[in-house]
A and B are shown apart, each in its own frame.
Chain A
Amino acid sequence: MRVIRRIAKRLVRLALVLLCVALVSFGLMMVSPIDPVDAYLGPQMAQVSPEQRALIAQRWGFDEPAVVQFGHWLRQLVSGDLGWSHVYNQPVSEVIAQRFQRSVMLLGSAWLLSALLGFSLGVVAGAKEGTKLDKAISTYAFITASTPAFWLAILAVLLFSVTLGWTPTCCAGPVGVLNQDVTLVTRLHHLLLPVATLALLGIANITLHTRARMLELMRSDIATHAFAQGASRIDVAWRHGLRHASLPAITLAFASLGELFGGSILIEHVFAYPGLGQATVAAGLRSDVPLLLGIALFTALFVSLGNMLADTLYGVIDPRIKVEGT
């Protein structure tokens, strides 16, 4: 019963947060000085008569008050219809589904890579506190934590694609080849650099936190006791440190999903990778309001689910928390 009640409470909270996101983002779209009819027309703005403009406004409901528009949009949203994207001329839900499928490879592999590498580097640095290795890892983490994501991507393109010619400079497949004809190897070849850059940036945070946790343990009574019994530093790090540091690392990995997605927008922009991030930029620059709203809601759901999962996993890994958390 307690578990069910807790999950129900979480779900209600999630729904409330999503409603707030919808309200805030819709409000922001409404106060924008950009004229929705102009945005809809794009470069064809000059070819349209006032009567045609009025027709467009009527068809898409731009002429109604904001509250009525919000009501319409919300009612559609509840029935699963996110609206129509005029940039891609497709339903918003289809755009998001297609784009996310491409992004998920990039996001997923970068996420796994950064979590695993970040955790191991943090453990090593923490276990060997004060050595050259520790200093090298910490310095690396501090520097990458301050590096602009898009600049790192630019450097990667300059070095690996332009100078060395190892990887392609853009897109998810060679230019002029149909999407379904691209082989898996080519696909992975195109993914290599974006994944590496995105992962490299995500590592820093997890490394620094894991290192701090490891230091905490290595200076604790548990470690002192183990050392007194003749355990080596590696023993203590492996038996006690790993467990102590893994929990915050997992939480952090799930909590960093939003940051990861933000990074992927920049990386996809630099590599012209046709994923959800690129669609976000296109939607923003060309004022595709329904698509922007859809993406905002979708990412909010994605990030909130990540956080919820982190909390649940916490309980599975550390049974003590279940008792306390009720």
Chain B
Amino acid sequence: MRQPQPRLRAAISLVVTGLLVIGLIASQWLLGDTPQQMQFEARLAPPSVDHWLGTDALGRELWARTLAGLALSFWVGSLAAILSTLIALSLAALATLSSRLDALVSLLIDTLLSVPHLILLMLIAFALGGGTQAVIIAVAVTHWPSLARVLRAELWQLRQAPYVRMSRAFGKSRWFVLHGHLLPHLLPHCLVGALLLFPHAILHEAALTFLGFGLSPSQPAIGVLLADAMRYLSGGYWWLGVFPGLALLLMVLGFERLSRQLRRAL
């Protein structure tokens, strides 16, 4: 039995994940306001042929709300991951400019890493007054340190490379070297880094929303759905707690798998 090549596998994963994401986004457009539509005669209905994943206390379809929640998670997670990667890249680049800046950046990294993520997220969400924007910024600001460390180490090593030193010796500016030689080399790292950050970002967004610091309770985010489910746990309304979380887990697992395969392929 021959193992398929890592590149082929990664390509297949990429296509499958891409199609699923497109499907998810398209479904939002098709769904319209189904996630918020109340059915007065079907409150807290268990999963059945009519109500695929059951309904919540206001008679809203859980499958539609879960899909909407996944889409929200996707947008928040990807924006936060991209923003976080940009922060990591710019701070890593800043750190290579001078040793004093380097010390400053590493102090910042130590500070951020010493406070538990969730507490820092709460502090930032509190400072920004909550809401979607606050969550995106909070997640972006807390997740860059690990990637920044990798990029910084990579940059230090690259600076010693002969072609970079040659370029400097020919009198090219620091900016030119950074922009023309170093950044193209770092791009694949950034891509994989962003993909690695993405599942973490989603999970932290959901956790923050679940605790009440994140997205507003009027939005059908996964964290909101699960916080709602908490109130109906002892009544035996299990579908409210099981399905949204399962959907989130599957999405995170999918992206985790994709990023693992991409790392192997690159």
Q: Which residues of A contact B (CB under 8 A)?
A: 13, 16-18, 20-21, 24-25, 28-29, 31-34, 142-143, 145-151, 154-155, 157-158, 161-163, 169, 258-259, 261-262, 265-266, 269-270, 280-281, 284-285, 287, 292, 295-296, 299-300, 303-304, 307
Assembly CA distance A106 to B115 (angstroms): 19
| Interface contact B245-A20, CB-CB below 8 Å | no
In the complex, the answer to whether B126 meets A148 with C-beta atoms within 8 Å is no
B139 is an interface residue with CB less than 8 A from chain A: no
Chain-A contact segment, one of B11-19, B172-180, B233-241? B233-241
A residues near B207, Cβ cutoff 8 Å: 148-150, 262, 266
CB pair B117 A262 closer than 8 Å: yes
9 tightest A-B CB contacts, nearest first: A151-B245, A262-B118, A28-B127, A258-B116, A20-B111, A146-B252, A33-B129, A262-B116, A261-B116
Known: A20-B107, A154-B233, A155-B245. 6 other contacts (CB 8 A): A17-B110, A31-B127, A148-B206, A154-B226, A265-B119, A296-B119
The answer to whether A146 and B111 have CB atoms under 8 Å apart is: no
Q: List 26 A-B contacts (CB under 8 A).
A: A13-B110, A17-B107, A17-B110, A20-B107, A25-B123, A28-B126, A28-B127, A146-B249, A147-B249, A148-B206, A148-B207, A148-B248, A150-B226, A151-B241, A151-B245, A151-B249, A154-B233, A158-B242, A261-B118, A262-B119, A265-B119, A280-B119, A292-B122, A295-B119, A299-B119, A300-B115
Given contacts A34-B126, A146-B199, A258-B113, contact A154 B256 (CB under 8 A): no
**Chain B contacts of A162 at CB under 8 A?**
233-234, 236, 238
B241 touches A158 (CB 8 A): yes
Asked if B253 CB lies within 8 Å of chain A CBs, one says yes
- Give Cα A266–Cα B204 distance, bound, in whole angstroms: 11
Q: In the complex the two chains form, what is the Cα distance from A303 to B120 in whole Å? A: 13
Closest CB in chain A relative to B74 CB, distance in Å: 15
Q: A31–B122 Cα gap in the complex (Å)?
A: 14
B residues 111-140 in Cβ contact with A at 8 Å: 111, 113-120, 122-124, 126-129
Asked if residues A287 and B126 are in contact (CB atoms below 8 Å), the reply is: yes
Q: Which residue of A lies closest to B117 (CB)?
A: A262
B238 touches A28 (CB 8 A): no
Q: How far is the CB of B52 from chain A (nearest CB, A)?
A: 20
List the B side residues contacting A148 at CB < 8 Å. Answer: 203, 206-207, 245, 248-249, 252
Instruction: Report chain B residues within 8 Å CB of A169.
Output: 233-234
Cα–Cα, bound, A269→B127 (Å): 22
When A284-B126, A296-B115 are in contact, do A146 and B256 touch as well, CB less than 8 Å?
Answer: yes
A-binding residues in B (CB < 8 A): 107-108, 110-111, 113-120, 122-124, 126-129, 199, 203, 206-207, 210-213, 226, 229-230, 233-234, 236, 238, 241-242, 245, 248-249, 252-253, 256
Contact A21 B111 (CB under 8 A): yes
Chain B nearest CB, measured from A103 CB (Å):
12
Q: Are A34 and B115 in contact (CB under 8 A)?
A: no
**Which residues of A sit under 8 angstroms from B123, Cβ to Cβ?**
25, 28-29, 292, 296
Check A17/B114 contact, CB under 8 A, given A28-B124, A155-B245.
yes
CB contacts (< 8 Å) of A265 on chain B: these are 116, 118-119, 211
CB distance from B205 to the nearest CB of A (A): 10
Contact assessment for B126 and A281 in the assembled complex, using a CB-CB cutoff below 8 Å: no
Q: How far is the CA of A262 from the CA of B241 in the complex (A)?
A: 21
- What CA separation (Å) do A281 and B118 show in the bound complex? 10
Q: Which residues of A contact B211 (CB under 8 A)?
A: 265-266, 269, 281, 284-285
Cα–Cα, bound, A265→B128 (Å): 21
For residue A198, give the distance in angstroms from its CB to the closest CB of chain B: 13
Residues of chain B contacted by A17 (CB below 8 angstroms):
107, 110-111, 114
| B233 in contact with A266 (CB, 8 Å) | no
A284 surroundings in chain B (CB, below 8 A): 122, 126, 211, 213
Q: Which residues of A contact B210 (CB under 8 A)?
A: 150, 266, 269
Q: A106 to B12, alpha carbons, bound, how many Å?
A: 43
Are B111 and A155 interface neighbours, CB within 8 A? no
Instruction: Assess A145 versus B114: contact at CB under 8 Å? Given A28-B124, A154-B230, A155-B245.
Output: no
Give bound CA distance, A269 to B213, whole Å: 13
Q: Which listed residue, B114, B206, B213, touches A258 by the CB 8 Å rule?
A: B114
Smallest CB–CB gap between A326 and chain B, Å?
A: 21
